[in-house]
Structure 1
Amino acid sequence: MSSSSQTSESLSEEQNFYTMNMSSEDTLAHSAAVSRIQSPTATYSQQNSIPKLDRNLTLTDSSSTYYVNASGKNENDLEIEVADANGKSRSALKKLYRLSQQAFQTMSPEVWNKRSKINDTSNAQNAMNDAHIQIELATPTYQYSTEDKKKLIALMSQCLVRYGCPSHRIESSLDQTARFLSVDAAFSYVPGQMMISFGGVAMIDSQTVLIKVHQGYDIKKLADVDDVANALCRSELHVGDCLLKLEEIVNSPPTWGSYGTIVAFTMCSFTACLVMFGGSWTDSAVAGVLGFLVGALNVMASQHSVYSNVFEVSASAAVALISRSLFQWVCFSKVAISAVIVLLPGYSMTVAVMELSARQIAAGTIRFVYSVIYAFILGYGLQIGSSLYGTINPNSDSTGHCMPGVSEWIYIPFLPFLAISIAMTFGASAKQWPSMICCSIIAFVIVFFLNKVISDYQIAASISAFAIGLYANLALKVTKTPPLVPLSCGITLLVPGGIGVRGAYHLLMDDDPDGSAFALHMVVVALGIAVGLFASTMIIYPRSKRRSIYVSM
């Protein structure tokens, strides 16, 4: 027997059920309305036998007959067509709890699925009477193979790593996606590679996939991947649609190309020297020019793998050499650190401490050691450049000419530009800038005023991190923006990357007996920031986020 004939017989039985309980006037109204939709409720494709819904269901309630369209389902009510006794129809909204029990009993089981939420388990009969009945449209169920689901999970893992998701959030996001797809999978990430075990570790026929992927930062693409994952878990997209969208994201160009990267480096160095390091106008101008140089070298390193191995050392050495040669006009430490601010490992150090706090031992340890070594690499490059000019001109002053900084009122107009430049280095789109600017302002203002009354920077950084964590999680509830988007910019203003590079430089120059403690100082400040962020998440989500995959810190 064909599918359409089965559906017709089901409808006939259903119509006979409720027309026997209707008055003569109701029967006329029902017949007049039903005659308008003689086509089957569902037609089937010969290719894959997927039901395609047109007008899906006839519900009888009192003296009216309801025709519910496929697009008419809402979370709390139904958009319906009401047929009166004269056979005329009108559109209306019907609350779910106002539909009679007969309407649910006449529901076609092939097209609709009834689900009851029982709140009172002590008395089943009272619970059924008091329950809020929800009706869900049985949308076509697309049957995708397990291989398609595995491909989606593997591609999503690559995207999360490639675009800057913290490792402890990568595994939790993939776990939730795998559970939704009914795929038994286990995940393990260490910097540089992602390992996925399908079938479970105890299964004999399990399949292990090792994916080599290097972590980068593109907040705009990461937010797009996050939207796709959440749409999948809300059943708004099917597996095939998600695969297409993820492939489009991967194949699309970076959010900011070569020119955008150079502009971001230049603007970030200029504004950071003014706002973060208390430089003068001369210091900031020189730092901006050197930031342009570092940005150009960064673009060249991304295009030539051979040069990328010596990029950090050569860039910091060139910055130190030029800064030291201008010792009569600029302050060496302010200009040099500002010029390489985008390369500072403070953000990476903070993420490493958070990963260790989240029991991600392998990923956190590797990232932590890498951050410390990276700070040494930058400090080594600065030491080479400074020593090279000291050899050329032994009479030069290693500290340079350090003038008083600009007025603190100047910070107000330049702080948003600093936030925008940091956002561009993370690959954020212009649409994401307002949230990142707000987060940066909150972080900077709190630290700025607390430092005037609290001498310990760790305490000020912890309080500021707690504040921006609250902001990012509350903004998620309002704008649905992943918390990582504003946090990436706000944390950069708090992280102790400059502490590490400056400490490594003085340690290598043998002019600071306390320079060897720079690594410990970095860890303490990063730990304070991590505690503040975790505390803010605990306040907003005491039971964790179970229904979403919005990436955060």
Structure 2
Amino acid sequence: MILKQTSHTSTAVRARQTFMQKLAKALISFGFPPHRLEPTLDAVATYLHLDATTSFSARRVQIVYEDKKTGTSLTRVIRAAPALALGKLHDIHMIYRAVMHDEISIDDGSRRLDEIIRAPDPYPLWGKVLIVWGCGLFICPAFGGSVLDALVVSVPGALIFLVQQYIASKNSNLKSISNMLAAIIGAFYARGLASTGYFCFEAIASASIVFILPAFPALCGALELLNENWERAVASIGYAVLYVVVLGMGLSIGSQLFCDIANYTPSNTGTETITGMFVAGSQTAPLFQGSFTFTNQTSSISSLAQGNVNCLSDPSWPWWRQSISQYSWTWILYIPCFALLLSMLNGQPFMKKQTLLMVIIAVIGQAANQAANRWLLGQTYVVNVVGPFTLGIAGIVASRLSHGRQTALTLMLPGVLVSVPGGIAAAGGLAMTEGGTSDVAINALGIGGRMISVATGISLGLVLSAAVGYVAQLHKKRTAIFAF
């Protein structure tokens, strides 16, 4: 009888350990924020009555189970390659919630986690290509592009995505090369179009590679830094900076490559020639008559120095060549579309109620950004805090109103990812106006610093919103909150 009871107890313990390990693998695999991983698994261990300690580093979680009766311990190491998948992350949260509220058994939870891990992506390759094409189309206005720029910007984006998918399927170690190649293709294409005088180099070059920006790793690194997880913070931020520096150098190389091949010299100096008479107001200076050329020397400064995307347009040009973003209300047209496509690109199924909520929350966050921009003109860092704070509060409120059936983390993530290119565009974009007139490495480092500045501001806003959410839910100590 004692042997049977011991065997039954050991089977139950193993089942609880298996569920915890599968949950850890699923969370790593589908983009759960690393700084929230250990607290979430600790909450699971406490509920399952497991004496376990967890530690996360790089792409693996180490779980140590202690048995105080026998004085022994068991160590399990779970490894997984992270890839953001919003739909699967929501499904994992629902399983986690159901188990923690005794709505399903632990064995059922383990079986459902296996199904989610093995489930295919919601979109085929051709569908993802179309999504990438749409992303470029609808984010181009944020970088100062015109209707004409938006219509052509998606061509290199779709090509870059296909090249990356092909290279990744052949050899995953060549991913870094594919990123550099992507930036070179985008800049070469953008500079070629810009040489005609009808297109904006900065808008096309930036929008063509925006979907490969390391927005989520940079965001997670900044959050780790704010939570004093120094080692993981340095690793994530260092990766994001080097990644963006590589992209910046690729943009410079691609631009200069076209200039060298086509013997083309990019110029940003605006000149205007006027024929007439010059008369001094004091009537003492001599009269001048003839042609006068006025030069705008400030326009020759690159967008990095100006602090905004440098897409110059003449007021006499037709509407389809004017920058869309000069009309402050146009964001309400392209931001919802970009948020929808970006959520789909990151694994959110289209025919889900959560998808509509994601778009609505993204629009709310962008509205907060626009209001902050109007009142805090030039204070980019502060503006980057306001939008994400609003996103975080909106996500937590939506989760509370649904009684936990919606996941705050997944609801706010598309809005957060939209804020990254928006913040970079407000700070100066990704591309350099000049071709070969300044040091490539210094310009690329400037872009990397801009990326981290934007990510840090966004992280601070998310942390503040999470603090408000935790204060409001202090009485719920049974589960961890699926939020930032």
Q: Please indicate, yes or no, whether the TM-score normalized by the shorter chain is above 0.5.
A: yes
Q: State the secondary structure of the residue aligned to 1:237.
A: coil
> How has the CA–CA distance of structure 1 residues 316 and 524 changed in structure 2, closer, same or farther, with 3 Å as cutoff?
closer
Aligned-partner Cα distance in 2 for 1:514–1:202: 61
Q: How does 1:463-478 map to 2 (within 5 A)?
A: 463-478=386-401
Aligned partner of residue 347 in structure 2, secondary structure: coil
Aligned to 1:208: 75
Superposition deviation, residue 198 in structure 1: 1.7
Higher helix share: 2
AA aligned to 1:186 is: T
| 2:19 and 2:106 in contact (8 A); partners too | yes
Return the letter of the residue paired with 2:20.
I
Q: CA deviation at 1:519?
A: 4.1
Q: Deviations over 1:478-518 (max 9, x none)?
A: 12311111221111222255669727998996269777544
Q: 2:145 aligns with which of 279, 301, 304?
A: 279
| Aligned-partner Cα distance in 2 for 1:522–1:345 | 9
Aligned residues: 414
**Structure 1 position 297 matched with structure 2 position 163:** yes
- Aligned-pair CA distance for 1:386: 1.3
**2:128 is the alignment partner of 1:252:** no
- Alignment check: 8 A CA contact 1:218 1:255 kept: no
**1: CA distance, partners of 2:342 / 2:69:** 45
1:197 paired to 2:60: no
After superposition, the Cα gap between the structure-2 partners of 1:213 and 1:341, relative to the gap in structure 1 and judged at 3 Å, is: same
Match of 1:532 in 2: 461
Contact 1:500–1:522, Cα closer than 8 Å, also in 2? no
The answer to whether the 8 Å contact 1:459/1:528 transfers is yes
Q: Deviations over 1:384-408 (max 9, x none)?
A: 2112112102224276984431244
How far did residue 234 of structure 1 move?
A: 0.6
Tell me the distance in 2 between the aligned counterparts of 1:280 and 1:264: 20
**Equivalent in the alignment of 1:546:** 477
- Per the normalisation by structure 2, the TM-score is 0.78
Cα 1:358/1:201, change in 2 over 3 Å: farther
Per the alignment, residue 376 of structure 1 pairs with 245
Is the 1:162–1:216 contact (alpha carbons within 8 Å) kept by the matching residues of 2?
yes
Q: How many Å separate the matches in 2 of 1:531 and 1:207? A: 38
Distance 1:203 1:395, change over 3 A: farther
Question: Quick one: distance in 1 between partners of 2:214 and 2:433?
Answer: 14
**Kept in 1: contact 2:54–2:61 (CA 8 A):** yes
Amino acid at match of 1:471: A
Distance 2:159 2:39 in 1: 40
Structure 2 residue aligned with 1:491:
416
| Aligned residues of 1:383 and 1:509 also touching (Cα < 8 A) | no
1:405 aligned residue: 323
Q: Which whole-Å CA distance do the structure 1 matches of 2:358 and 2:399 have between them?
A: 13
Matched, 1:438 2:307: no
Percent identity (aligned): 22
Picking from 231, 235, 238, the partner of 1:362 is: 231
Q: Which moved more, 1:352-361 or 1:406-415?
A: 406-415
The residue number in structure 2 matching 1:269 is: 136
Query: 1:271–1:415: 8 Å Cα contact kept in structure 2?
Result: yes
Report how far residue 439 of structure 1 moved: 1.5
Superposed counterparts of 1:79-228, under 5 Å:
144-199=11-66, 205-228=72-95
> Within 1, Cα distance between the matches of 2:436 and 2:413?
31
Distance in 1 (CA, whole Å) between partners of 2:191 and 2:250 is 13
Structure 1 segments unaligned to the other structure (5+ residues): 1-47, 50-140
Task: Determine the structure 1 residue equivalent to 2:346.
Answer: 426
Matched, 1:392 2:323: no
| 8 Å contact from structure 1 (residues 419, 440) kept in 2 | yes
Q: Which residue of 1 aligns with 2:188?
A: 321
Q: For the residues of structure 2 that align with 1:458 and 1:188, how far apart are their CA atoms?
A: 32
Residue 179 of structure 1: CA displacement? 1.3
- Within-5 A mapping of 1:447-458: 447-454=369-376, 455-458=378-381
The CA deviation at 1:350 is: 1.9
Are residues 441 and 424 of structure 1, via their aligned partners in 2, closer, same or farther at CA, if it must alter by over 3 Å? Answer: same
Q: 1: CA distance between counterparts of 2:101 and 2:154?
A: 46
Report the 3-state secondary structure (helix = DSSP H, G, I; strand = E; otherwise coil) of the residue aligned with 2:240. Answer: helix
Cα pair distance change 1:222/1:200, threshold 3 Å:
farther
Task: State the alpha-carbon separation in 1 of the partners of residues 428 and 234 from structure 2.
Answer: 17
Q: CA deviation at 1:546?
A: 2.2
Contact kept, 8 Å, 1:316 with 1:381, in 2: the verdict is yes
Which structure's CA Rg is the greater one? 1
| Higher RCO, 1 vs 2 (CA within 8 Å, ≥6 residues apart) | 2
Contact 2:51 2:66 in 1 (8 A): yes
Unaligned runs of 5+ in 2: 269-309, 314-321
Shift of 1:341: 0.7
Instruction: Specify the SS of the correspondent of 1:283.
Output: helix
Q: Distance in 2 between matches of 1:410 and 1:460?
A: 19
Distance 1:160 1:506, change over 3 A: farther
